[in-house]
Each structure stands twice: as C-alpha cells, then as structure tokens.
Structure 1
Amino acid sequence: MSDDVSVEFSGFIKAFRLFRNNRLSEAEAVCTALLRKNPLDQATWALKLQCLSDSTYVDELENEDVGLAETFLEQNVIAPNARPGTSFQRPKTTSKGVNPILRPSTNAGRPITGVVRPQSSFKSGSMEQAVRTARTAKTARAVSSTSARNMRLGTASMASGGDGEFVNLARLNIDKYAADPQVNRQLFEYVFYYVNDIRIAHQIAGVATKSAGYEDHFWKNQLAKCYLRLGMLQDATKQLISSLQQKQLIETFAFLAKAYNRVDQPMAALKTYSQGLEVFPEDVTMLTGMARVQEALGEYELSVDLYKKVLDAQSNNIEAIACVATTYYYGGKPEIALRYYRRILQMGVSSAELFMNIGLCCLAAQQFDFALSSIMRAQATMTEDVAADIWYNIGQAMVDVGDLYSASRAYRIALSHDPDHSESLVNLGILQHREGKTEEARSLFSSAISKNPTMFEGNFNLALVCLHQGKYHECRKLVEKALIAFPDHEHCKKILNTIKVLYESI
C-alpha cells in the first residue's frame, strides 16, 4: 500500500483554490504577495479585485435602503392619486383576507410580529414626522438610499493597507480596462460593491456595453443597477427591457419588477413577475416578489396563497414560513402558527422576535408555561432596535392575563427605549383612562397622533375622549381621520352619524 502523497499548492493556484473555498482574506493575502513580486500580473490583479468585491457583496434585489429624501421627494411616481388597490400608497382596506387594521405595524412600517423584508422600512406618515424621527445613519442630513449602506460599510471597505489603496481610480485608464473583457467585470464589481463609487461604475459599464456592440445583456443589467442606485428609474427600465429582448433571466425580471415598484406601479410589477413565471415556472424569486407586492396592496389572501406556493417549491424558505404563520395567528389559529414558528426555530434561526412570536402564540393557545419561558428568552436576547416592540408585546401579554399594573410598566419601558413608539402611547393612554385619569390619557393620545398622524387607534381613542367631554367639533375631525385609515369601521360611522344629528339639531 503506497503512502499518501500530500500536494502543496503555491502561487496563483493556491490563491485561486482559497478563493474557491470562500477563504477570501487568505486568498487576498496571497494575491497581495504575488503582486509585490510582479505588479503587472493581470490574472492575480483580477482575482484580488474579485476577493475584495465578494467580501462586501450585497444582493441588489434585497437592498432597499430608501431614505427620507427618496420617500418624500420622489419625482418618479406616475400616479399620485391612484385608485385603491393599484398603488402602495392606497392599499385595499376591505379585502377578503386579514384586514390591515388587524395586522399592526411599528413606527418603522414593519409588522409587529417581526416579519422583516425589503421595502418594509419605508416611513409612513408625513415628512414632518420623518424629519423628527431619530436619524439611523448617524448623520445630520436626511437619510438617503446610499448613506445607510455607507455607514454599514464604514471605513473598512476603503481602508488603505500597508501599500496604500489597491486601485487608484483617479489615475486609472477607465476606457482601457473597461473595454478589456478579461478584467472589466471584476473591475466593475470592485468599484460598485467595494468602493461604492456609482459614477465610476456607471462609466465602466457604459464603456463595456459599447465595446460589446450593445449586444451583451450582462452589461445592460449592470447599467440598470447603477441607474437604480442613482434614482434614474426610467433609464433603468429601458436597459432591463432591452436586456430581456436579448436574454431572459430571473435576475432581469426581478430587477424590472423592482423598478416598477419604485415608481409605484405594482400592477406592472405583477405583470412582470407573471411573465417571469411563464419562462421559469415555480421560481421562488418570482413567487416571493409577487407575494410581497400583493401584501403591500392589502390582498392578504392572494399573498398567503403565493407564499404557500413558495413553500411547495422551497420548504425551508424562512420568509414564507413566517408570513404564513403571521396570517394564521391573526386569523385566530395560534396553534397552527406555533407549528410554523417552531419550524423556523428548528432550522437554526434564533432571534428575539422569533421567541416573542412563539410566546404570543403559546399565550393565545393557553400554553402559559411555554409562553413565559419564550417571552423571557426574547427579553434576554433582544437588541436595542427591537427592545420597544418586545416590551410592547410583553405589555399586551400582561393585559391578556389581567395584570394591568405590569402592562402599564411594560409600556413605559417600551417608551424609554423608543419615545416615538406610538402603539405604546395609545395603550398606555387606554390604561390611564380606565383609572379615570382622562387628561393624562388625552395627552398620551395626542402625543401618539403627533408621532404617527395616520394611526387609526390614536385618532379613534382621542375621538372617544372628546365625545365624552362634549368637544364634538374636535371629535368629528378625529373620526374623519380615523375613517381614512379604516373606512369600514362601524363604530366610527355611528359616532359620525350621532354628531351629524347634533349639528343638524343646532
């Protein structure tokens, strides 16, 4: 029996094998050593570019860092006064599925159950409210789509090593290297992901497209990425449509639908996803995109059906499992929702939101021992960004078991973590009103409305207080605002009719 022979790799082969094994930092170190010996080694140079870009890669399909400027100063929206159900700004409120008012959202626009997805961080409400909200990018200016990502990358991506910056873009011959098919893709991804210089990346993609005779669908997609980052949505749409005429790819369909979503054209996005499903049946990316759009439009039944199709194609899709579980929970079936959330836990996911969801499901299913342990686990693992929501849900649990004192304390702790948490303000106001402290309740309701003017609960509860105090004119205004958020609320309609009779009698 012959002895085993161990093979030692060196040079470029060693760097390439390290790169293939996803050991990017080691591969980069080997490339750096090789380039010190031979700075003109083009293959090693391209491999190091790829290592650096892969270390900071962000999927552009899931990257939706849209901030204040893009949200409230958007000039690309085609129909500002669209019909209900045809725009993200006016979703349906009377769909056959779960009513949106029964599926509450946080101040960040995210469902309280912890389901987080792209575009869920869009701010709702007025621009004045968004300006008052604390900055998330730690800057004095309004958060833009690039500032959040720049803060996430920090200075690490542009930190100069011992030999200085790897590629000096100011002195680089863009036209020469962008026209070279051997290195232009690596150079583009380095500039786009690592350096985050969209202007230079767009220049590289433009030169490469021209050198390819405008026949390469890859570079048209890269141009579309640059246009999406720059906010030039119509130009991005043109490039993607031209790319689809040359070659139909899942990525191209998804980017085109994303561009339509950015200009508030969900019907066009759904049509694009449908066309993608005709070419790629049961594709998870297409089905997930359709489900997100349908949910944003208020079509919860259609959204859940699509998420179930996603699970048929990919049974370990966490987003689909969480969304189906959320629907079952708000549909009055906590036992079924608990099975889905436990499935996520079995898959290795561990977060404060997940433990809180399991605790709420156990509480609704009257499994109090598991509920307490899950809520305590959520409280122990929570981070500062979700602490207010965790304590808000703890307050809800305390209300369910009848401990109103502990509920009031939990809401106050939630407000200590996030003073703009309007849901906690409303519920704390209700508890104060039950104790007969009407003025304190009124102050809390007013504060909640100032934090979130479009919130139904704040307007409705303050309207009830005004009605009991005989302030009918103010009550009428608040009820009308509440009906904008929930047009089919019967109690609001009754109050409005009662006030109308009083006005007519005068």
Structure 2
Amino acid sequence: MEVEYRILNLFKSKQYDECIKLCSVALQNRSDQMIEFLQMRAMTIQTKIAGNGYEEVEYYPQQDDDYVSTAVAKTPRAGTSFLRESKTAQQFKKTASAATATAKSRGYTKTGRARSARSALHTASRASRAATALAGGAPFSAATPLSLRFMSKDDKLFSPASKTLFEYVYYCEGDVRKAMDIAFQAQKVNDTTDWWWNFSLARCYYVLGMYRNTEDCLRNALKQNKHIAIYLRLVAMYVSLNQPLSALDICKQGLSVFHEYTPLTLEQARVHDQMGNTTLALKEYRRVALEDPSNTEAIANIAMFNFYNDQPEIALRYYRRLLATNIPGSEIYNNLGLCCLYCNQWDLILPCFRQALYFSTNTENKSDIWFNLAHVALSTGDMALARRCLQVSLAINSEHSGSRRALYALDVKTSRVRKV
C-alpha cells in the first residue's frame, strides 16, 4: 500500500518523471491496472506539455494540393483568402531596413509569401507549435502498459480507461489510426451522447487531412456540448482550408457563448492580421490586452503597430512592459534599442543592443543586431563604424542580404565622394 500511496502522491504533486519511474519498478513484479492507469496519464500529460499548451491554429500547414481532395481554389475571391500579400506585409518590408532583427519577413511554408507584421517579435510568435498528435511516435517499449488494452467492455472502468488509452496512443505513440480504432470501439459500447469521442475523432481526421470528416464530427460534438476546444478546432480547420471568413464566423459564434474569451479573440485577431485588416486586428489585440494584460503576442503586436505608425515613444512603453513581464531576450532588447534610437534617447541605445547581443543565441539574430548597430552608426554620421558593423554582420551570417546591400551602397557612396 505504501508504493501505491507514493505513486498517487507523485502524480498529484505533478512529479511525473519520478511517478513514471516508480510505476515501472512497481509493475516489474505484478500487474496492477491502477498503477498502469496512472503511468499512462503521467506519460500523456508530459507529452502534451512538451508539444503544446493547447492545440493552436497552424497557418499554412505543409500539404500537397495535387493529392488533397479538399484543396481550395487557386483564384479565390478578393478578401476571402489568405493567399495574397497584404498591404501590411508590403509596408512591413519597406521599413525592414530599420528593424531587420525583429521585423524581418519570413516565408510561409506553403506559399513562400512574406508573413504579415504579426511575426515581427519572435517572442510573440508561436514558433514552438509542435504537432502534438505526432509528438511521440515511439514504438512499444518494455515499460509500455498493456493490460488496459485487454479490459472487458463490461468493466465499469472501461469508459475512463478507454479515454486514457486513446490519449496515450494518440500523443505518446503517435499512431492516429490505432487511436481511431479505439474511439470507434468505445463509441459502440458507450452512449453516443458523449461529445468527447466525436471531438477526438475530429482530431484524428484533422491529422490525416480529412477535413470534411473533421467538420462533420466537430459539428456533431458542438450539438452535444458547447465546448471551447471544439470552437478552436473548427477555427484551425477553416484556416487550414484557407477559409478565413468561416473561421471568423466560428470565432463570433464562440464569443457569443464564451464572452471575451482570450484564445478566441486572439485567433480572430490573427485571422484579420493574415487577411491584411490591420485596423481590425489591432482592435482585437487591444481587447486581448484588456482581458489578459500579460499576453505577450497582443502587447508585441500593439507595440509594433505603434512603432511603424511613427509613434516610437508609445511602442517603447509596450516593449518595456514586455521586458517586465517576460523572460529577457535578444528580440525585446533589440526592439527597445530601436525605439530608443527613434526617440533620441542616445544614452540607452548602446546598452540595449549590448544586452541584445548578450542574449542572442543564433547567428541570424546576431547578424540582424549588428545590422541595426550599423544603422545607429549611420544616424550619428560615423561611416567607418557603420562599415565595420556591416562587415561583422556578414562575417557572422554571409547570407544576410540587408547587410550586403547596405555595404554595397556604402562602397558606392564612398567611391563617389572620392571622385568629387
């Protein structure tokens, strides 16, 4: 009894690593369904946390339209598609020379078009959006619980055990088809009024790219229960199908049930941003910031909008708030340095960029920061220092196009001055 108590205590206190190890030791000499159940739950929760907090919308997932039956039209009507370059993205690229480190255009995985201004701050982006349904993918190991797979359908613990088994197979093993088999078998035994199984089948269909089946299951689940996860999954599906108007309609339906719910408002702002409706997107980001004052993405987008709207003083206030509420990073300090530059706060420019270089972890960020330092040097009229900063930027990353063009422009200007 002491081992079971220790396992349960570790699980309740969220010490999942120790809980899994103790479960493996306890299952070596005996078979206990309760211990296996806790081991499955602990492994599933760990995989969920490693993959994502909640399954967010992924814009433009990689897929081959030639083999997908649900591919969208190549020439959609104006204002009804993401597949175009928005005005904000065009303005964004024009001003990229002043803030390349944080306002740099990055290509979409599918279309190669520039991202909109939403991706200006790396700390506000959802860069770690892992495919949680395929996060595991590991085969059966010696410690994999097996006895729950052979539980009788007449057992009173079959329903909760089947849900646990489904999530374990879906998240830890990454076998979507096997998870679908478990869901079908559970639906035959259980009452079909449980919305969770329709939602789980929709997740499986979504991973497999079967969007029509996904929509049917989600609509059925929505009739059974108005749950926030169903609305978020519907938004993800319509975004993947390049139907932003349908995604916005789902957001409005969800907000009519869950008033001022931050994730739905945030998705609504992202959709508007991707469509190029900067004013509407900013309005939604402000609503998110009012409901959740510590939301990094909303604050970063508001700050960036003010920066490119020739209001660096207001943007500086928002970036200082990000610095106070988040872990320090090179992107935030780089933005602070640029805001100080345009606010003429010369005593804070170099300390901010020094901190940005200190926190930078990859060559691309360092190259961008040195490029911005060259812009600071040009603002003071020091051509030699600007040249050295550009040379350092190219030495760190030889493929930095902005530094190469700026260095070429400096060489041309210097040669003309010498001729005169």
What is the TM-score with the length of structure 2 in the denominator? 0.82
Counterpart of 2:26 in structure 1 is 34
Amino acid of the residue matched to residue 393 of structure 1? N
Note if 1:87 corresponds to 2:81.
Answer: yes
Amino acid of the residue matched to residue 41 of structure 2? Q
Amino acid of the residue matched to residue 125 of structure 2? R
Counterpart of 2:355 in structure 1 is 377
Q: Distance in 1 between matches of 2:259 and 2:336?
A: 34
Name the SS for the 1:89 alignment partner: coil
Counterpart of 2:221 in structure 1 is 243
Counterpart of 1:209 in structure 2 is 187
Counterpart of 1:24 in structure 2 is 16
Distance 1:87 1:413, change over 3 A: farther
Counterpart of 1:366 in structure 2 is 344
Deviation string for 1:145-165 (max 9, x for gaps)?
Answer: 869976xx6x9x6695xxx24
Query: Contact 2:180–2:201 at 8 Å: present in 1 too?
Result: yes
Counterpart of 1:398 in structure 2 is 377
Distance 1:400 1:221, change over 3 A: farther
Amino acid of the residue matched to residue 387 of structure 1? K
Q: Distance in 2 between matches of 1:412 and 1:211?
A: 69
CA drift of 1:397 comes to 3.1
Task: Please report the RMSD computed on the Cα atoms of aligned residues, expressed in angstroms.
Answer: 3.5
Counterpart of 1:485 in structure 2 is none
Counterpart of 1:186 in structure 2 is 164
Which 10-residue stretch deviates more, 334-343 or 261-270?
334-343
Distance 1:353 1:94, change over 3 A: closer
Q: Distance in 2 between matches of 1:417 and 1:237?
A: 48
Relative CO higher for 1 or 2, CA cutoff 8 Å, sep ≥ 6?
2
Q: Distance in 1 between matches of 2:62 and 2:403?
A: 24
Note if 1:54 corresponds to 2:32.
Answer: no
Which residue among 67, 76, 83 is the counterpart of 2:70? Answer: 76
- Counterparts of 1:37-436 in structure 2, within 5 Å, are 37-39=29-31, 41-57=32-48, 58-59=51-52, 61-62=55-56, 64=58, 68-69=62-63, 76-93=70-87, 101-102=94-95, 104-108=103-107, 111-114=119-122, 116-118=124-126, 160=141, 164-167=142-145, 180-384=158-362, 386-436=365-415
CA drift of 1:236 comes to 1.5
Deviation string for 1:244-274 (max 9, x for gaps)?
Answer: 1111111111110110000110111011001
Counterpart of 1:13 in structure 2 is 5
CA drift of 1:417 comes to 4.6
Distance 1:17 1:148, change over 3 A: closer
Q: Distance in 2 between matches of 1:286 and 1:341?
A: 24
Amino acid of the residue matched to residue 409 of structure 2? I
Percent identity, aligned pairs only?
A: 29
CA drift of 1:362 comes to 1.2
Q: Distance in 2 between matches of 1:410 and 1:73?
A: 48
CA drift of 1:300 comes to 1.1
Amino acid of the residue matched to residue 401 of structure 1? T
What is the TM-score with the length of structure 1 in the denominator? 0.69
Query: Contact 1:158–1:165 at 8 Å: present in 2 too?
Result: no
Deviation string for 1:221-248 (max 9, x for gaps)?
Answer: 1112222222222222221111111111
Deviation string for 1:59-104 (max 9, x for gaps)?
Answer: 3523749665459986633232123432111254289x97675475
Q: Distance in 2 between matches of 1:305 and 1:201?
A: 41
Amino acid of the residue matched to residue 189 of structure 2? S
Distance 1:63 1:202, change over 3 A: farther
Distance 1:174 1:87, change over 3 A: farther
Q: Distance in 2 between matches of 1:14 and 1:120?
A: 34
Q: Distance in 1 between matches of 2:36 and 2:371?
A: 53
Query: Contact 2:289–2:295 at 8 Å: present in 1 too?
Result: yes
CA drift of 1:371 comes to 1.6
Deviation string for 1:347-391 (max 9, x for gaps)?
Answer: 142111111111111111111221211111111111115334333
Amino acid of the residue matched to residue 248 of structure 1? K
Amino acid of the residue matched to residue 25 of structure 1? D
Distance 1:180 1:249, change over 3 A: same
Distance 1:308 1:356, change over 3 A: same
Distance 1:209 1:25, change over 3 A: same
Query: Contact 1:334–1:361 at 8 Å: present in 2 too?
Result: yes
Query: Contact 1:273–1:287 at 8 Å: present in 2 too?
Result: yes
CA drift of 1:17 comes to 2.4
Distance 1:185 1:432, change over 3 A: farther
The number of residue pairs the alignment matches comes to 395
CA drift of 1:30 comes to 2.6
Q: Distance in 1 between matches of 2:55 and 2:120?
A: 24
Query: Contact 1:233–1:259 at 8 Å: present in 2 too?
Result: yes
Query: Contact 1:353–1:390 at 8 Å: present in 2 too?
Result: no
Question: What 5-or-longer segments of structure 2 have no aligned partner?
Answer: 97-102, 108-113
Deviation string for 1:102-131 (max 9, x for gaps)?
Answer: 47533345634435434899xxxxxxxxxx
Q: Distance in 1 between matches of 2:331 and 2:301?
A: 13
Amino acid of the residue matched to residue 330 of structure 1? Y
Amino acid of the residue matched to residue 259 of structure 1? M
Distance 1:94 1:165, change over 3 A: closer
Q: Distance in 2 between matches of 1:430 and 1:173?
A: 72
Name the SS for the 1:261 alignment partner: helix
Q: Distance in 2 between matches of 1:243 and 1:218?
A: 7
Distance 1:56 1:88, change over 3 A: same
CA drift of 1:409 comes to 4.2
